Structure 1
Amino acid sequence: MATTPKPNEEGAAKRFWDKFSKESILTLYTPFVVSLASGNLKVDTFGHYIAQDVHFFKCFAQAYELAEDCADDDDAKISIVELRKNVLEELKHHGSFVQEWGVDLSKETTPNAATTKYTNFLLATASGKVATPFEKTKVAAYTLSAMAPCMRLYVFLGNELKSLLDVNGDEHLYKKWIDKYSSEDYQATMLQIEDLLDKLSVSLTGQELDTMQKLYHQALKLEMEFFLAQPIDQPTVLPLSKQHIPSENRLMIFSDFDLTCSVVDSSAILAEIAIVTAPKYDQSQPESQSQIVRMPSVDLRNTWEVLSREYTEEYEQCMESMLAHEKVEIFDYSGLKKALEQLVEFERRANMRVIESEVLKGLNLEDIKRAGERLILHDGCMGFFQNIIKNENLNVNVHVLSYCWCADLIRSAFSSGGLNTIHVHANEFEYEGTQSTGTIIKKVESPIDKLQAFTDILKNCRETDTKPLTIYIGDSVGDLLCLLEADIGIVIGSSSSLRRIGAHFGVSFVPLFPALVKKQKEYIEGNSFSWKGLSGILYTVSSWAEVHSFIIGL
């Protein structure tokens, strides 16, 4: 008999869910779910969804029956039988559950393409078509891998929508649906399936676990497609690209780079390139040689550590100095801008120390480009830019504004993903041939410089083009002014300094999904909605999946 994972071990179900969390976010941001969350989803649309959902219940019951036949563990068989009984019981009472919405489940409905795609996939898995005859005993584990993510997704959606109900405190047309999938009973059933999945996975080989993971991911994607396929015949606030009229507006996407796009700060990457490629010992060349003389790697590392420590200490002092101003209750943009001007001289001094230290002297352009090509970006970042640039239906322009010392590093990072049309606004290295002289050609050093670049770009756009709709995505204090000036400012990540400084000057940080639900509700009730800058409101997201879902959709 299989053993249960130890308490300190993470089970397969939890690992799989965490790994593929992007699909759950994408599902949350579908027009159907946002409309459902707003409480203004048309009842006919909801009825169609419920009727399709019945096909899922029937398929689940059939899949459990097939899985039971393959299970070689008595405890597993008992658990599967119990789970099947729960599905049949739920199916039996489903008709009465939907009566208040006027949905009649007595009429047989034809499953749509997305429903059929999932049910065919699940029954093929439960019939052993993904395993060889010698692996029949593994079918139960494979089948549960294709079912567990659906249960977890419904709990996720139920809890997300329940939190909005708790905040708003008003009556909601679909409260009964939300209460069901956020209930302790439904979560208990979900945990029962996941616990069984974990037990069945313990004795599997690495290859078999890979098969489970692929099935789990495929099921989650098919479930996402199911929600996306629900027909919506009412206006929706997303995706933004659908509201955007290319002939009237140019969609302007602005983004920071360091830690917004990249996982590691670019200054640390450039310093590491310098240290790794530097000579181990003092190997000074005669003056007649054209090669730029570089300090030994040990000295370079020590120098870099001193520079980093000084930067961090002075930066914290600047933050505390800005917070010394009296906190305001009403958004004070001019006060914030004046406070951020303190960073201008600080950043200039820091860059000058770097130049004078010569830590960047002698870096080879090819090494920088190779590092850019291998640079790790946050999950979903590259995909977002690829999708939005390659979308021929959008009149879109993309700009990256960064303090990065070397724009070549950024350009190389995006070029590796086929993105050669992104406009990069950053500092540059001065070169002799292909080697850096150690001098930084300073173009974007501070929040004020970023704002100036942002303003100049928009000025040029307005002079030559249609009215722009601006979106700025950033993660740090240096992005605050641009975030606030943009029509839509999106804060990604969890920078405490950005939030502390912003809140101190009256900036509100609102999670994007609840904001969209609120706008959807207002939209359907006849109130026009618009996005405008300098409102003092910034929208927060946890990942690029949210940005992608909001702007582009699926």
Structure 2
Amino acid sequence: MAMLGMAVEEGSAAKRFWIRSRKEAVFAQYTPFVVCLTAGTLETEAFRNYIAQDVHFLKTYAQAYEMAEECADDDDAKAAITDLRKAVLERLKMHNSFVQDSVMQEWGIDPTKEIVPIPATVKYTDFLLATTLGKVEGGKGPGKIVTPFEETKIAAYIVGAMTPCMRLCAFLAKELQVCLQHDANGHPYKKWIENYSSESLEVAAVQIEDLLDKLSVPLTGEELEVIEKLYHQAMKLEIDFFSVQPIGQPAVVPLTNDPANHLVIFSDFDLTCTVVDSSAILAEIAILTAAKTDHSGTDNLNARSFSEMRNSWDSLSRQYTGEYEQCIESLLPKEEAKTFDYEGLCKSLGLLSDFEKQANSRVIESGVLKGTSLDDIKRAGEHLILQDGCTDFFQNVVKKKEKLNMDLHVLSYCWCADLLRSAFSSVGCLNYLNIHTNEFNYQESISTGEIVRKMESPMDKVEAFKSILSNLGSNGKHLSVYIGDSVGDLLCLLEADVGIVIGSSTSLRRVGKQFGVSFIPLFPGLVNKQRQINGKDSCIWKGLSGVLYTTSSWSEIEAFILGT
């Protein structure tokens, strides 16, 4: 996803606040309103309502800029605020012109019909007006702050509460414009999007960010914290505003919007959920155990030294990496398939399955995992670092699981299920998900080095995936989602109604493309799906379509599946 506002200096307050809010901004992008608007299927009355709400926003913005200008004590800051206020007034003129000229003539809608602000609009405008009066958390309570010194703080607080709206609008405008460029059929809101996405909006966003940085320079750390709270509160109110816009039509987002669907979510674990591969973690635990034995001087004829364990693991890792690349090369067809070839992919991944099983056999035979303590594994799981946004996703699925009729499964090649149990237990999700992976053999809580081998290959994963779905029975509608990152996930990704590839594995994309798989960024893919339903039944997902959706963000996945 494009990162806007790069003109803001590294380390600036505005940049820090935006970076910390960027994953939240995705939730505005993935609202039914924005997706339908981008797709060009948004009903005209819903669009007109949005324009009317934006007018209420802009009028309050103009008021807030006027107050900020009064409070600022720097001529340059005053001049910048004046310019920004003029830009808002110009945008108001653009709205009026658009409604009068376009909506009236093209769609036959009465532009004189008054539309009152919805509660989400009122919440933001009330918040902004309260900020202009000094009614901010961390301030001195209700009432306008009147001393000249404190008035300069009010200018900074006002700008802090307005900046996220400008940055979010510029962010959404960029995404709208990109999708519009690929719309060859003509977009009903093309004129408005082109005006909305003009360079002037990005310029205004950068200007207000620069102004926020300038006004923040003399502030204390405590006062900067107040501004950051205002920034995040404003961002939340903006997202709420987009999320409650009425559309009056079926939408592909969020995926949970059809309560009749039994949603079954599957996820891989290693490098999908985690930052580091679990095999490296388990090996490191075993190596550190050997180091403790060396250090204690324990006379154990069966114990292996730290150096032996390290050398053994390094050798296994090098062999696996080299042979894995050779295996991938060997299973690729000479020519790229012209159409999706699932049968050919299954045959080729059978070769990869044999390779993965042989690699696991070498690990077991090496004894490198022998002597590992269950307590050490559990501690490692508790401190396992998950991908940014992953924990939030799983926790929010758990919160909504019963209300929204969802099941959650993790399918993994991990050698030790106890590591996964500990990781998910530490974030409060263990009791609500099903883990399908391998197990260690223990004697008195110490690993024997043997692995109870349940899931080692792409074929094992897809068989487990199919078995889980078949056990749900034929009653009711089931919608399956699989989230994965590697070649080993390809079959499950393709079998699922919705397959989401997270990360940037070149091997996965290379293998997939050779067998005719298409990879589409998630948001544009949803926009295309929205165009397909166009008022029809929104249940249009189906497996084995040969299309997978790509993202680098768990926040995008959560916004798509769960919404706000």
Q: Same fold (TM over 0.5)?
A: yes
Displacement of 1:10? 4.2
Which of 527, 536, 540 in structure 1 is aligned with 2:550?
Answer: 540
> Using the alignment, how far apart are the partners of 2:9 and 2:306 within structure 1?
42
Displacement of 1:301? 2.8
CA contact 1:426–1:444 (8 Å) conserved in 2: yes
> Using the alignment, how far apart are the partners of 2:79 and 2:540 within structure 1?
55
Q: In structure 1, what residue type is equivalent to 2:441? A: E
Q: In structure 1, what residue type is equivalent to 2:291? A: P
Aligned partner of 2:66 in structure 1 is: 65
> Using the alignment, how far apart are the partners of 1:40 and 1:346 within structure 2?
48
Displacement of 1:208? 3.1
Aligned partner of 1:479 in structure 2 is: 489
Aligned partner of 1:157 in structure 2 is: 172
> Using the alignment, how far apart are the partners of 2:369 and 2:165 within structure 1?
52
Give the 5 Å matches for 1:286-325.
294-323=303-332, 325=334
Superimposed CA distance per residue, residues 301-358 of structure 1 (whole angstroms, 9 cap, x where no aligned partner): 3332222222111111112222353321111111111111221222122222222332
Displacement of 1:546? 1.9
Tell me which moved more, 266-275 or 58-67. 266-275
Displacement of 1:79? 0.7
> Using the alignment, how far apart are the partners of 1:38 and 1:192 within structure 2?
30
Aligned partner of 1:76 in structure 2 is: 77
Matched, 1:110 2:116: yes
> Using the alignment, how far apart are the partners of 2:437 and 2:221 within structure 1?
45
> Using the alignment, how far apart are the partners of 1:234 and 1:6 within structure 2?
39
- SS of 1:233's equivalent in the other structure is coil
Aligned partner of 2:378 in structure 1 is: 369
Displacement of 1:285? 5.0
Q: CA RMSD in A?
A: 2.4
Superimposed CA distance per residue, residues 75-107 of structure 1 (whole angstroms, 9 cap, x where no aligned partner): 111111221122223324431122212366656
Superimposed CA distance per residue, residues 93-137 of structure 1 (whole angstroms, 9 cap, x where no aligned partner): 431122212366656543221111111222222322233456442
CA contact 1:118–1:219 (8 Å) conserved in 2: yes
> Using the alignment, how far apart are the partners of 1:46 and 1:180 within structure 2?
15
Tell me which moved more, 143-152 or 380-389. 380-389
> Using the alignment, how far apart are the partners of 1:467 and 1:245 within structure 2?
7
The number of residue pairs the alignment matches comes to 542
CA contact 1:31–1:228 (8 Å) conserved in 2: yes
Matched, 1:21 2:32: no
Aligned partner of 1:89 in structure 2 is: 90
Aligned partner of 2:3 in structure 1 is: none
CA contact 1:158–1:180 (8 Å) conserved in 2: no
Aligned partner of 1:491 in structure 2 is: 501
Matched, 1:101 2:103: yes
CA contact 1:71–1:77 (8 Å) conserved in 2: yes
Distance 1:19 1:7, change over 3 A: closer
> Using the alignment, how far apart are the partners of 2:220 and 2:308 within structure 1?
49
Give the 5 Å matches for 1:211-230.
211-230=226-245
- SS of 1:431's equivalent in the other structure is strand
> Using the alignment, how far apart are the partners of 2:8 and 2:255 within structure 1?
44
Superimposed CA distance per residue, residues 233-279 of structure 1 (whole angstroms, 9 cap, x where no aligned partner): 22222222122415xxx322111011111122111222232333433
Aligned partner of 1:272 in structure 2 is: 284
- SS of 2:264's equivalent in the other structure is strand
Q: In structure 2, what residue type is equivalent to 1:477? A: V
CA contact 2:289–2:371 (8 Å) conserved in 1: no
Tell me which moved more, 80-89 or 397-406. 80-89
Displacement of 1:447? 0.7
Normalised TM-score (structure 1): 0.92
> Using the alignment, how far apart are the partners of 2:122 and 2:216 within structure 1?
28
Aligned partner of 2:153 in structure 1 is: 138
Matched, 1:260 2:272: yes
> Using the alignment, how far apart are the partners of 2:304 and 2:193 within structure 1?
64
CA contact 2:268–2:410 (8 Å) conserved in 1: yes
Q: State percent identity of aligned pairs.
A: 60
Which of 476, 479, 484 in structure 2 is aligned with 1:469?
Answer: 479
Distance 1:321 1:210, change over 3 A: farther
Which of 434, 455, 463 in structure 2 is aligned with 1:452?
Answer: 463
> Using the alignment, how far apart are the partners of 2:537 and 2:181 within structure 1?
24
> Using the alignment, how far apart are the partners of 2:457 and 2:381 within structure 1?
23
- SS of 2:432's equivalent in the other structure is coil
> Using the alignment, how far apart are the partners of 1:295 and 1:244 within structure 2?
56
> Using the alignment, how far apart are the partners of 1:53 and 1:513 within structure 2?
24
> Using the alignment, how far apart are the partners of 2:113 and 2:506 within structure 1?
55
Tell me which moved more, 29-38 or 136-145. 136-145
> Using the alignment, how far apart are the partners of 1:160 and 1:110 within structure 2?
28
CA contact 1:360–1:438 (8 Å) conserved in 2: yes
CA contact 1:519–1:529 (8 Å) conserved in 2: no
Q: In structure 1, what residue type is equivalent to 2:492? A: C
Gaps (5+ residues) in structure 1? none
